[in-house]
Amino acid sequence: MACTTDDDAAARDGADGEAPRLSHLDASGAARMVDVSAKPATERVAVAAGVVRMAPETLALVVAGNLKKGDVLGAARIAGIMAAKRTSDLIPLCHPLMLQSVDVAIEPDAALPGLRVTATAKLIGTTGVEMEALTAVSVACLTIYDMAKAVDRGMIVTDIRLVSKSGGRSGDWRADGA
């Protein structure tokens, strides 16, 4: 993760016999940006997901493109990509990253009813991209809410989570049930 990297992973995970600790705190408990300069550049990929639940009528309007604000899905995809690129401006202590790819996919799900949002962030670098994927999903979901709130203020943005990450010293990780 750009905000909680695998720097000093043994201490963070408690593998050195000590209790796990946060990588963004120094020995005195002060916040610090993790030094990743000595880490090798590797491919990093993170996938995050979220859901916007809404009334069936709202979902139909969004899918049909019949809202006054325009193309909700297109705007949300672009907003998510833009947000991923600005993560370090939004989250303190995140490293500014040169992302090589960000993809935001939005799929209607009548069973919710609502929209499932997935973001994938990739780079070759010294720190992960989990926060970028999570930021992309969050802002895409908020954009959907913003564009459709005139017809449905009861929408619920929910289930935002990291689905998987690969690369780096800590290796691959996948959420239970993902």
User: How would you class 136 by CB atoms within 10 Å of its CB: exposed for 0-12, middle for 13-18, buried for 19 or more?
Assistant: buried
Q: Which two tokens stand for residue 102?
A: 């960000």
Distance CA 155, CA 56 (A): 11
| Phi and psi torsions of 16, nearest 5° | -90, 10
Q: Is 141 annotated as a binding residue?
A: no
146 is catalytic: yes
Point out the catalytic residue in the list 146, 152, 159, 172.
146
Q: Which are the contacts of 55, defined by CB distance < 8 A and separation ≥ 6?
A: 113, 152, 154, 155
Q: How far is CA 11 from CA 1, 16, 24, in A?
A: 16, 6, 12
Question: Was 3 annotated as part of a binding site?
Answer: no
H/E element holding 77? helix 72-85
Residue 130 assigned ligand-binding role: no
Identify the DSSP state of 20.
P
123 a known binding residue?
A: no
Q: What is the CA radius of gyration of the chain?
A: 18
**CA proximity to 119, closest of 21, 48, 34:** 48
Residue ranges of the annotated binding site for substrate are 93-95, 131-132
Residue ranges of the annotated binding site are 93-95, 131-132
Question: What positions carry a catalytic annotation?
Answer: 146
